[in-house]
Amino acid sequence: MLRDLASGRDAQAEAALDVIASAAPEVLLLLDIDWDLGGAGLAALRDRLAEHGLDYPHAVALRPNSGLPSGIDLDGNGAADEARDALGYGRFTGDSGLALLSMRPLGPPRDLSGVRWSARSAAVAVLPEAAHPVVPLATTAQWVVPMGDVTLVTMAAGTPVFDGPEDRNGKRTADELAFVAELAGGATLPIVLGRANVDPRDGDGPRAAIRALLGHPALQDPAPRGAGGGGAGHAGDPALDTVAWDGPGPLRVDYVLPARALAVRDAGIVWPAPGDPLAETVAAAGSGRLVWVDIALP
């Protein structure tokens, strides 16, 4: 999680910037970045990254669905103006959006954030009927962005918990991941990157959906590894974990999945072992860990 990196020089923001600088990625997808209409926050963030030696002249940061009022009581508690009633969970318009930064030129993005859930799946029936023509599939945002000969397909699926027995969040997450898989299948040299919010072996959520994406015939899973992770009683390989959450514990929920036709030179997760000089910085940066893949681009 990399929230409000440009808002001040607090310890968490500084640690997050140091982690990014340690990886020095050419392309960077940031999660939980608040969107503003004039782009002032993103501009300040790019300035801060430049102070760390990272220049990102190309960026995509479109308005997310998170926090946009739906005007409908989606959770049935009698109120229609709460965070859970927004088109995607959020306390205000632009809450917890995405930002894609690149040292390489980016083509015009296809913003598919407005595709309605009802146009994609009958699972929308878990919502009130009045919401069917209103609520989009994407909880946060869904972009397809050309970058030279490859196509970046963002992923920012919703959290598949914090609902009831109707499993509305889990069903929406599953449909979001299925949409990402479809977009990857129709793209030229796709690179899927972002958060699925589902671990293929541990935690709650639609595991079949993430397993289907990981096994997509157009994609490969480089299985980046770090030295951290490992939840009590978990079945998955702890080296693959990408978050350190309270409650469910460490899980693998963030992914970079290049096209099978692309050569992967290396991959990893910035999660050092205890005692490593960077370990305290990574822990101070928040619960998420930076996932990186070195790809030989055409």
Backbone phi, psi, residue 48, to 5°: -65, -40
As given in the structure block, the two tokens for residue 164 are 């009831």
pLDDT in tens, 131-169: 999 999 999 999 999 999 999 999 999 999 999 999 999
Question: Mean of the pLDDT values across residues 211-240?
Answer: 96
pLDDT in the model for residue 9: 57
* pLDDT band at residue 3 using 50, 70 and 90 as cut-offs: very low
- 10 or 3, which is more confident? 10
Per-residue pLDDT reduced to its tens digit, 13-59: 899 999 999 999 999 999 999 999 999 999 999 999 999 999 999 99
For 297, counting Cβ atoms within 10 Å of its Cβ (0-12 exposed, 13-18 middle, 19+ buried), the class is: middle
Statement: residue 8 has pLDDT above 70 = no
pLDDT digits (tens, 9 = 90+) for 59-82: 999 999 999 999 999 999 999 999
What percent of the chain lies above the pLDDT cut of 90? 94
Query: Please, which pLDDT band fits residue 1 given cuts at 50, 70 and 90?
Result: very low
Q: According to the model, what pLDDT value does residue 4 have?
A: 45
- Alpha carbon distance 146, 267 (integer Å): 22
Predicted pLDDT at 102? 98
pLDDT at site 70: 97
The whole-number pLDDT of residue 231 equals 85
Q: What is the mean pLDDT of the chain?
A: 95
pLDDT band at residue 232 using 50, 70 and 90 as cut-offs: confident
User: In a 3-state reduction of DSSP, which class is residue 27?
Assistant: strand
Distance, in Å, from the CA atom of 20 to the CA atom of 9, rounded to the nearest integer, reads 15
Q: Which two tokens stand for residue 80?
A: 């229609």
At the topology level of CATH, where does 11-296 sit? Deoxyribonuclease I; Chain A (3.60.10)
Pair 117, 172: CB distance under 8 Å: yes
